Amino acid sequence: MLFVFSLTATHLFASYKLDLTLKPDPPETGINRLEMKISDEANQPLDGADVSFIISMPAMGTMPYMEEIGSVTQKEPGLYIGSFDLAMGGSWSLAIRIKKNDSEEKFGFNLTTGIPGLTRTSEINHKSAQGGTTQLLPIGPERLQKIGVRFVEIKSRQLQKTVRAVGLVEPDNTKKSELALRFPGYVEKQFRGRVGDYVKAGTPLLSVYSPELVSAQEEFLLARGRVESESLQHSTAERLKNLGLSENDIAHVKNTGKPLRNIVITAPQSGTVLEINVREGSTFRLGQVLYSIGDLSKNFVIARIFQRDLNDLMVGQAADIIIPEADEPSYPGKIDLIFPNIGEGEGTTNVRIESNTPNSFLKPGIYVDLRFFVDLGSHLSVSPNAILYSGLNKYVFVDQGEGILEPRAIKTGKSTDEWIEVRSGLNEGERVAASGTFLISSEAQLSAALPKWEKEKGAKAGQPPQVPEEQPMKGHQH
């Protein structure tokens, strides 16, 4: 039943009289103003009342139910000013609540952008969990069953989040050696010439010839022939050590009295040959890296973690390393380091995972999948399928029994694959629709559109409009 009012309309109720004025009128998208002059039964201005209102729009197609709680301020006795923001054009429901002492009344109106005035409606309103009023959706039990609506209870659950990432295997560089010589020369003979070979510490890798090293040995022998110059003998021996000649080689030169032409270079540590930069007959420079040898028994996995997941990870946390080609489903690892910087413009940071598991598949350069299981604790939670998103707002349909649903705004927090933490808007024990929410919003829109469509169709066919039970009330008092 609808009652149409003009620019400023007086509304008579059991306990109050309302003079409502919209500014601008007709209302438009954006900020609007609502002036409410409220009088009591004795026609005296109502002072000190708790006045609030909710402006809402039912769901339409893929757009969910929208709602905003308007701010109200008392300017003088009986005069209350409110403002509200219409996010889009169309028809909106306005629910006003007036409360003073033990008396409370709620009133429903409709307004439409581009059309002057307010329209009083007799639709059912309901007190929401936030203390305001909101419109209920009387879908009906049979209809809810037909569209396959399933409800889930709001309760505290132990939430566990799985953080997934892709990682790149890197060797432990603290167990890597680079072989470089302190003199230039030539490679005479190469004993180990393949990348991937495993060598033990002291294994001969190559023999080299260096004119500079031969000259230093000859100076050492000449100094030894001068008995009166111990300091010169000592300095030439030290020079051979500084050039990298071993104690055994120096002893050999001393005993034979002849310089070593070819010097055998051995592996500095046990491990796998990772890099070879010379071949037989080639020259090398002073300080040039000839061989790289690394211990691959311990590897690291460098993973890129999104910024939103960083607070859920910590050093020492366990990780599953998944190698698709391996026989085992996963291998254990743990977080060794969380890098302090976040990549500019990327929103990710590197996390280093240590793995001590011997594995022929876990070689430097391969990509692996990673899983981190994070315990988020016990929280009030709801299924992600129950939430409808509208811009920055989130809504659910709360079961009120007998096929009646209440659209309600909620605030959420941490999320898992199955549940989302509810921080406000729902209470433990309530039930919300966890499936068919799109069809519920379609049902609500259809219910709101059919009466208007029938009325417009009758008017187009030349039928006289139906006379409402109460006549339109103009901008004057009765």
Q: Which domains does the chain have, with CATH numbers?
A: 2-130+446-460 (2.60.40.3340), 142-158+378-435 (2.40.420.20), 163-172+298-377 (2.40.30.170), 178-292 (2.40.50.100)
Average the pLDDT over each of 61-65, 179-183, 391-395, 461-465 and give the range with the smallest value: 461-465
Average the pLDDT over each of 143-147, 190-194, 290-294 and give the range with the smallest value: 143-147
Residue 360 has pLDDT above 90, yes or no: no
Residue 474 has pLDDT above 50, yes or no: no
Q: In whole angstroms, what is the distance from residue 83 CA to residue 103 CA? A: 24
Give pTM, 2 decimals. Answer: 0.48
Residue 215 has pLDDT above 80, yes or no: yes
Predicted pLDDT at 183? 92
Residue 123 has pLDDT above 70, yes or no: no
Residue 156 has pLDDT above 60, yes or no: yes
Contact (Cβ atoms closer than 8 angstroms) between residue 51 and residue 98 = yes
Average the pLDDT over each of 56-70, 121-135, 220-234, 318-332 and give the range with the smallest value: 121-135
Predicted pLDDT at 15? 67
Residues near 174 by beta carbon (within 8 Å), at least 6 away in sequence: none
pLDDT digits (tens, 9 = 90+) for 251-291: 888 888 889 899 999 999 998 898 999 999 999 999 999 99
Average the pLDDT over each of 122-126, 196-200, 319-323 and give the range with the smallest value: 122-126
Select the more confidently predicted residue: 229 or 47. 47
Contact (Cβ atoms closer than 8 angstroms) between residue 190 and residue 199 = no
Select the more confidently predicted residue: 189 or 11. 189
Average the pLDDT over each of 207-216, 339-348, 363-372 and give the range with the smallest value: 339-348
Select the more confidently predicted residue: 124 or 74. 74
Average the pLDDT over each of 30-39, 227-236, 313-322 and give the range with the smallest value: 227-236
pLDDT digits (tens, 9 = 90+) for 1-25: 233 333 345 554 556 788 889 999 8
Q: What share of the chain is helix, strand, coil (3-state, %, to 5)?
A: 15, 45, 35
Q: In whole angstroms, what is the distance from residue 321 CA to residue 309 CA? A: 18
For 83-126, give the DSSP string.
EEEE-SSSEEEEEEEEEETTEEEEEEEEEETTEEEEEEE---EE
* Average pLDDT, integer, range 38-60: 85
Q: In whole angstroms, what is the distance from residue 30 CA to residue 24 CA? A: 11
Strands 388-390 and 393-399: antiparallel
Predicted pLDDT at 442? 62
Residues near 127 by beta carbon (within 8 Å), at least 6 away in sequence: 106, 133, 134
Contact (Cβ atoms closer than 8 angstroms) between residue 107 and residue 13 = yes
Select the more confidently predicted residue: 284 or 470. 284
Residue 60 has pLDDT above 70, yes or no: no
Q: In whole angstroms, what is the distance from residue 364 CA to residue 168 CA? A: 8
Six-digit token string for 452 = 């208007």
Task: Determine the residue type at 4.
Answer: V
Six-digit token string for 140 = 């009906």
Neighbours of 186 (CB within 10 A): 16
